[in-house]
A and B are shown apart, each in its own frame.
Chain A
Amino acid sequence: MKKILTVSFVASTLLMADTSLDLLKEQVEKQQQMIEILLQKIETMELKNSLQTSKKQKELDKEHTSTSTKSKAFTQSSFLPDISLIGDISYVSRNIKDAELTHLELPGVAHSIMGTHAHDGDSHAPYNADKGFNLNYAELGLSKSVDQNFKLNSIFHFSQNSVEIEELYFTTGILGHGVQLKGGRFNSDFGYHNNQHHHAWNFADNALVYEAFLGMHGINEKGAQLQWTAPTDTYLMIGAEVLQGENEQMFGNSAIHLSDLNSTNSDIGASNAPSMYIGYVKSSFDIGNTTILSGISYATGAARIDHSSDEEEAHAVTGKSKLYGADLTIKHFFDSYSFLTWQSEYLQREIEGTKYSIDDTSKAATASTLKKEQAGVYTQLIYAPNKHWKMGARYDTIFKNTINLNEGQDSFNKYSAMLEYNTSEFTKLRIQYNLNKALYDEDGKRRDINSVILQANFAIGAHGAHSF
C-alpha cells in the first residue's frame, strides 16, 4: 500500500514538475538576463568613471603645478559667460553735405536712408552717417549655457549716446532629430544676409535692397523660431518663424493716431500681434572644394507705416506686406586661407492696403488704395588671396517699382568696391568706395554720391566663430 502511494506521489510530482520546471527555467533565464543587463550597466558606469577620473587626474596634476590654489573657495569665475566686444569706427569722405543727404530718397521705396535722421526716434545710429569721423557702435556679446538644456546669447548694441538689446535669445537642441528652437529677440534667418551682423559684412554699408525694404536692422524682431535639418547627406534645412512685426519699413501692427493731427481724421486701429510669419528652405552641397548654398524665403504680415509727422509728403499706410527672397552663394576654396565667393540675393515685396495722405497745412488725411510691387538685387564677388587680404566688388539695384499699376522711378543703382587688410582674425581695416546712383532730391532729380569710407573694426574677448 505504502509502495503504491509513494509511486503515485512521485509520478504526480514528476508530472507537476514538468510544467513548474519549465516555469522555473524561464524565471532563471530572465533573472540571468537581468543580471547581465545590470552587470553591463555597472561596467558602463565604471568605464564612464574611468574616463572622468583620467580627466580629474589631469586637473590634479595641473593644480600641483600652480601655486595659488588658496582663497578660491567661493570663486565663480569659471562660470563667467563668453564675453566679446566689437568696436567699429570709420572716417567718411563724401561729395554731398550731411544736411542735404538726409533729405534724399528712393521715391516710392524709402525715405532718408543715409545720414543721421533725428526725427524717427531711432536709438540705433546709422553706420557711417556723417562726413568725417564716425563712432558706429560698440557691440557687447555675452553668451553661455544656462543649463543642460538651454543656451542664452545676447548682443547689446551701444551707440554713442544709447544702448539697445539688439539680440537676446535662447536656443535649445534638446528636442533632437535635427530640431533647433530659438526664442527672444534675434535677427531672422530670412535670406542669407539678414542674420549677419555688421562686422561680418564684406562691405562697410548695407546692401541697398535690404536697407530700402527693411531698414538698417533688417528683420530684427521678438519672436520664436523653429528649424529642422533633414537627416540627409545633403544639407537641407526648413525653418519657420513667428515674429511680433515691428519693422518700420514694411511690417507693423500698432495703431496710428491720425486724429492727433486733425480731429476730423479717423485713427488706424491696431491689428493682432504677433503679426509676422516667415518660412524658408535652404540647401547646400559641395563639389570638391566648392560649396553651393541657396535658399528661398517668404515673409508675410500686417503693414503699418507711419510717416504721418514727416515734414514733407506726410502719410501713413495700413495693409498687408509680403516679402519674397531668393539667395545663392557659391564659395570656392583654393586652400585653407584663399577663397573666391559669389553671393547674390533677390528680394521682392508687395504692400497692399490703404494710404492716408496728410495735407501739409490742414493735416487732414485723405484715403486712397495702395498697391506697391518692388524688387531689387545685390550681387557681390569677394576674393581673398590669403588670410590677411580681401577685395571685393558689389552691384546693387532696385529695378522694379510699380505703384498702383503705374511704373514709378525704377533707376536705382549703386556700385561699391573694397579692399580689406586683416592684421589678425580680430582686426579688420577696410577702404571702400561707393558710387551711389539711387538717391533723388525733392524735385525728383538724381544726386550721384561718391563716398570713400575708411573703416576699422576690432574684436576683443571670446573667439567668435567663423561663419560660412
Chain B
Amino acid sequence: MMKKLFLLLIPFALFANIKIAVSYPYIGELTKKIAKDNVDIITLAKGNWDPHFVVPRPSLISKVRNADALIMNGGQLEIGWLPPLLERAGNPKVQVGGEGFLNLFDFIQPLEKPIVVDRSCGDVHPDGNPHYNLDPKNILLLADKIKTFLTILDFKNKQRYEQNYASFSQIWKKKIQEWKEKMASKKGLKVLQYHTNMAYFINAYGLQSIGTIEPLPGVPPSSKHTMKLIQLIKKEKPYAILHDVYHAPKTAKFIASKTGIKILTMPHDVGALENIDSLEALFDYLVGSMQ
C-alpha cells in the first residue's frame, strides 16, 4: 500500500523543480548551463527588444509570483519595469534582499560610471553602463556566482552544479581564447554605436568608440548631431557602426550613404536575432561580424 502511494508521489517529486525567473534571456541561458534540468527558467523580457523598455504586462506578475528565485541584470536596466512587478507579485522569496534574489550587477566592474548624474545628460545610469553581458569574461564570472546561488538554493544537487560549472568554464575559456585570437588584429579599430550598449565588447577587445548616433543616452538622433558625426567619420575613418537590433537604422543608413561606412547589426542578447539561440552563438556572431 505504502509502496503504491510512494509511486504515485514520484511524478510530483520529479516535477518539483526550482522555478527561477530571470529578467533577460542571456541570464536564463547561463543559468541553464549550470543547472541543466534541475530548474525551470522563466524569462521575463524578450531578447530582440530594448532591454530598458520591457512592458510590465500583468502576465509577468503571475510569473514573478510563481517563482522560487529571481536573477536580474541590475545596474538600473530593469528600473522602469521590474519594481512594479515585484510589488504586485506578493512573493517574499524574490524581493530585494530575499533568499531567492540575485543581482548580477553586484559582481562586475562597471564601465562608464558617470561623474555627473543629471537628466540633462540624457537617460544616464548612475551606477555605470549596465550592458556588461557583452564581455565574455563577465559571463564566466557570473556563471561562478550563479553556481553559488543555485547551491545555496538547492544544496542536495551541489555536486551537479559544480560539475556543470566546471565543464562550462572549460568550454567557455577555450571560446574566450578563440574569440581573443580572432579579435587580436582588430585592436585599436575605431567604431561608432547607436547607444553605448556595445561598450563592454568594445572594451574587451581594445576597440575604440568614437561616438554614438543618439546625441545623449535615450535621446533620438538630431540633424545637428548627425551632421557632426558625418564630419567626424570623414576625418577619423572608423571601421563600422555597431548598431543594435531594436532602434530604427534610418539615421545610420543616412550616415552610411554620406560616408560609405559599414553598418553592422550587433545582437545584444540571446534571441536578438533569429539564429542567436545560445550564448556561444551570440559571441560567435559578434566576433564573426567584425571579421
Contact = CB atoms under 8 A, between A and B. Distances in A.
A297 interface: no
Nearest to B85: A465
A423 B53 CA distance: 16
Contacts of A50: 148
A55 B127 CA distance: 14
B220 interface: yes
Interface stretch (A171-179, A260-268, A298-306, A409-417): A171-179
Nearest to A54: B107
A428 interface: no
A40 B218 CA distance: 47
Interface string A377-403: 000000000111000000000000000
B92 A173 contact: yes
B106 A229 contact: no
Contacts of B90: 173, 175-180, 227-229
Contacts of A123: none
Contacts of B149: 51
B288 interface: no
Interface in A145-179: 148, 151, 171, 173-179
Contacts of A231: 65-66
Contacts of B119: 424, 426, 460
Interface stretch (B26-34, B56-64, B204-212, B233-241): B56-64
Contacts, number: 136
Interface stretch (B3-11, B75-83, B223-231, B276-284): B75-83
Interface stretch (A98-106, A285-293, A346-354, A355-363): A285-293
A101 to B, nearest CB: 37
A284 B65 CA distance: 14
B104 to A, nearest CB: 11
Interface stretch (A111-119, A331-339, A365-373, A449-457): A331-339
A44 B155 contact: yes
B195 to A, nearest CB: 12
Interface string A26-51: 00000000000000100110011011
A467 interface: yes
Interface stretch (A8-16, A68-76, A232-240, A317-325): A232-240
A79 interface: no
A282 interface: yes
Contact of A51 (B58, B81, B148): B148
B183 to A, nearest CB: 26
Given A47-B152, A54-B106, A337-B50, A293 B95 contact: no
B59 A291 contact: yes
B106 A424 contact: no
Contact of A58 (B62, B79, B88, B109): B109
A463 B123 CA distance: 10
B84 A465 contact: yes
Contacts of B76: 463
A311 interface: no
A415 B261 CA distance: 50
B246 interface: yes
B107 A55 contact: yes
Contacts of A228: 90
B151 interface: yes
Contacts of A284: 57-59
Nearest to B141: A54
B164 interface: no
Nearest to A427: B119
B184 interface: no
A467 B58 contact: no
Interface in A177-224: 177-180
Given A50-B148, A51-B149, A178-B90, A465 B83 contact: yes
B59 A234 contact: yes
Interface in B80-123: 80-81, 83-84, 87-93, 95, 97, 102, 106-109, 119, 122-123
B89 A178 contact: yes
Nearest to A232: B62
Contacts of B152: 44, 47-48, 51
Nearest to B83: A465
A148 B106 CA distance: 20
B145 interface: yes
A428 to B, nearest CB: 14
Contacts of B232: none
B220 A467 contact: no
Contacts of A425: 80, 123, 218
Contacts of B218: 424-425
Interface string A245-262: 000000000000000000
Contacts of A232: 62
Contacts of A43: 155, 158
B49 interface: yes
A11 to B, nearest CB: 38
B61 A235 contact: yes
A335 B272 CA distance: 12
B16 interface: no
A61 B109 CA distance: 9
B219 A173 contact: no
Interface string A413-439: 000000000011110000000000000
A51 B145 contact: yes
Given A55-B106, A180-B90, A465 B59 contact: no
B135 to A, nearest CB: 15
Contact of B92 (A44, A58, A174): A174
Given A176-B92, A234-B59, A387-B220, 10 more contacts: A47-B148, A47-B152, A173-B91, A229-B88, A229-B89, A282-B58, A293-B58, A339-B55, A467-B84, A468-B56
Interface of B: 49-50, 53, 55-59, 61-62, 65-66, 76, 79-81, 83-84, 87-93, 95, 97, 102, 106-109, 119, 122-123, 145, 148-149, 151-152, 155, 158, 218-220, 246, 248
15 contacts: A40-B155, A44-B152, A47-B152, A55-B107, A178-B90, A180-B90, A229-B89, A231-B66, A233-B62, A291-B55, A335-B246, A425-B80, A426-B119, A466-B55, A467-B84
Q: Would you list the 10 A-B pairs with minimal beta carbon distance, nearest first?
A: A284-B58, A336-B50, A180-B90, A235-B58, A336-B49, A173-B90, A465-B84, A55-B106, A178-B90, A235-B62
